[in-house]
Amino acid sequence: MIKDDHQSALLDVRGLTKSFGGVRALKGVDLSIAPGEVHVILGQNGAGKSTLIKTLAGVYTPDAGEIRWQGEPITIANPVAALDLGIATMYQELDVVDGLSIAENIFLGHEIESAGFTRTGKANKAARQLLARLGHGDLSPSREVGSLSPANKQIVSMARALSRNTRLIIMDEPSAVLDSEEVKNLFRVVRELTAAGIAVVYISHRLEEIREIGDRISVIKDGRSTANGLAVAGTPTRELIRLMTGRELENDFPPATPVAAGAPVLLEVENLGVRGEFEGVSFSVRAGEVVGLAGLVGSGRSEILEAIYGARKPTSGSVTLDGRRLSPGSVRDAVNHGMGLSPEERKSQGLLLGEPIYQNITLSSFGRFARFSFLGERAERTAAREQIAALELRPSDPDRLAGTLSGGNQQKILLARWLVHGTKVLLLDEPTRGVDVGARAEIYALIRRLSAAGTAIVIVSSEIEEVLGLADRALVIAEGKVLASVNASEISEHDVLDLVMEGSAA
């Protein structure tokens, strides 16, 4: 069966690996695409989907692994080579040139020309035919692309793919920019393409869409294939989520200390909303309590945290910290009054990778160690050393650069930053993403210790098990709405998923 697959496959990938510096983005990905199918690739943010796509598009060269195209082993040296083979890619951030016309965009890189002069009339005519084929004969080929809606830009991008002899189109989250009517049109176009024998690789994490359009599914988790070519029809959603989030590693969550009966409310979120992202979020967190936000990627979890913190300006509602109403959209105000955020993207949002550990730890508080604005580096190092010892951060040298540390230790730097600063309310966004199992347990223990010491904690994680294991109370979120607020010990992961699925479908 697998052998057959191997023979008849349009594209066959085995054991693909790719590293960037010390980070292994792909650790062994298998993929087999048949002609005329819609093959869905599922995976969480950071699972390696983008790296995989870019490798197939010739943007990256793989370190190891085999790629076969119609049975022949090949190397895809650059994007032009991919296009020449017949592999076209529609990136999420649409790669159209705003200042050029629709026809110019479609034939970008392979202009219709004679003797070096572009043949505008001929190109426009050819473009019109392609657009008509995509159900958009109404678009004028001479119109400037910058004036188009995202949906129409996508049509242009697709027409460009078809303008070459394309056998495989990779679509990276094509529905992300579309409304439901436009999604229908997209699906119609996809069906037409596949009917003509063109294969479509469809990337999405909207499970309901996958059911509608997909033929087979491959799942990637942490750079590795966890499923290859499952039939969409025969695979339950729960199974897909299991493959995507990975449950084979059971985590042990340290027991929680019950929240004291008279514990004061430290964080009060009332009717908070950011237009277009989420709305009507209300909850409160008491000293020593851990509240978890559970939901899938894109449900609005991170946005809620950012709005509470002031990193995103809310359009409605209020945040009260230990009895003080925070000025909306001011990180400074939140930090000054004792709130801290450990952001989702540690490297790009949290750390100064080229600076030493101690300066990263004191980033929010170095002013306090200074005298008349002169830095107190000795005191900073001492404070950092204390945290390094308390959190068992390795390496223990405060002068080592943050960029050289592992994910778990980088996470500890962020926790240490807020410990030094002295926060009452700690917001943790994906505190264990990219953290190995051993360090995970340490971070769980740390979160427990912090809450036992009276810190109010709000935690967001893609791993529902983690939210339920750590939190006293869980808010289930889908599509920017809070669906339920439940006692974490009284709800199972499956219940949460059922809630999320219902919420997403509605």
Q: What is the dihedral of CA 491, 493, 499, 502, to 10 degrees?
A: -160
Q: How far is the CB of 365 from other proteins (least distance, A)?
A: 9
Per-residue H/E/C for 166-229: CCEEEEECHHHHCCHHHHHHHHHHHHHHHHCCCEEEEECCCHHHHHHHCCEEEEEECCEEEEEE
**List of residues 6+ apart from 373 with CB closer than 8 A:** none
- Residue 61 lies near other proteins (rule: CB under 8 A): no
Three-state DSSP class for residue 334: helix
Nearer to other proteins, 404 or 487 (CB): 404
Q: In the complex, what is the shortest distance from the CB of residue 325 to other proteins, in angstroms, rounded to a whole number?
A: 18
Stretch that binds other proteins, among 49-57, 190-198, 374-382, 384-392 (CB under 8 A): 374-382
- In the complex, least distance from residue 314 CB atom to other proteins, rounded to whole angstroms: 16
Write down the least CB distance from residue 192 to other proteins, Å. 42
Give the nearer residue to other proteins in terms of CB position, either 229 or 350: 350
> Of 142 and 336, which CB lies nearer to other proteins in the complex structure?
336
Q: Is 22 in the site for other proteins (CB under 8 A)?
A: yes
CB atoms within 10 A of CB 331: 15
Residue 60 touching other proteins (CB under 8 A): no
Question: Nearest CA to 480 among 344, 276, 292?
Answer: 276
Q: Identity (one letter) of the amino acid at 360?
A: N
By CB under 8 A, what part of segment 295-334 binds other proteins?
Answer: 309, 311, 331-332, 334
Closest approach of other proteins to the CB of residue 351, in Å: 6
- Measured CA distances, 171 to 47, 161, 308 (Å): 17, 10, 34
d(CA 343, CA 36): 41
Given a contact cutoff of 8 angstroms between Cβ atoms, the answer to whether 468 and 499 are in contact is no
352 lies in the binding site for other proteins (CB under 8 A): yes
If binding is defined by CB under 8 A, does position 20 make contact with other proteins?
A: yes
Q: For residue 489, state whether it binds other proteins (rule: CB under 8 A).
A: no
- Shortest Cβ 423–other proteins spacing (Å): 10
Q: Is 438 near other proteins (CB under 8 A)?
A: no
Binding residues for other proteins, how many (CB under 8 A)? 38
* Cβ at position 369, least distance to other proteins in Å: 9
CA distance 24 to 13: 18
Should residue 278 be labelled a site residue for other proteins when binding is judged by CB under 8 A? Answer: no
> CA 99: distance to chain centroid?
30
Residue 33 buriedness (CB in 10 A; 0-12 / 13-18 / 19+):
buried
Using rule CB under 8 A, residue 367 touches other proteins: yes
- Shortest spacing between CB 51 and other proteins, in angstroms: 15
CB 39 within 8 A of CB 201: yes
CB neighbour list of residue 16: distance below 8 Å, 6 or more residues apart: 26, 28, 29, 30, 31, 52, 55, 62, 64, 65, 66, 67
Could you tell me the smallest distance in angstroms from the CB atom of residue 145 to other proteins? Answer: 23
User: 460, 292 in Cβ contact below 8 A?
Assistant: yes
Contact segment (CB under 8 A) with other proteins among 101-109, 159-167, 231-239, 356-364 equals 356-364
Q: Which uninterrupted H or E stretch holds 273? A: strand 265-274
Q: Is 276 in the site for other proteins (CB under 8 A)?
A: no
Among 255, 348, 438, 506, binds other proteins (CB under 8 A): 348
- On whether the CB atoms of residues 11 and 56 are closer than 8 A, the answer is yes
Looking at the Cβ atoms of 208 and 399, the one nearer to other proteins is 399
What are the structure tokens assigned to 29, written together? 């990905």
Q: Which of 290, 363, 416, 497 binds other proteins (CB under 8 A)?
A: 363
Site for other proteins in 380-409 (CB under 8 A): 399, 401, 403-406
| Residue 349 found at the interface with other proteins (CB under 8 A) | yes
Nearer to other proteins, 21 or 255 (CB): 21
Minimum Å gap between C-beta 164 and other proteins is 33
In whole angstroms, give the CA distance from residue 310 to residue 340: 11
Give yes or no for a contact between 308 and 321, defined as CB atoms under 8 angstroms apart. Answer: no
User: Any contact of residue 219 with other proteins (CB under 8 A)?
Assistant: no
Q: Does 356 bind other proteins (CB under 8 A)?
A: yes
How many Cβ atoms from other residues are within 10 Å of residue 159's Cβ?
26
Which span sits near other proteins by CB under 8 A: 288-296, 343-351, 451-459, 470-478?
343-351
Which residues make up the interface to other proteins (CB under 8 A)? 20-22, 309, 311, 331-332, 334-336, 341, 343, 348-356, 359, 363-364, 366-367, 370, 373-375, 377, 399, 401, 403-406, 417
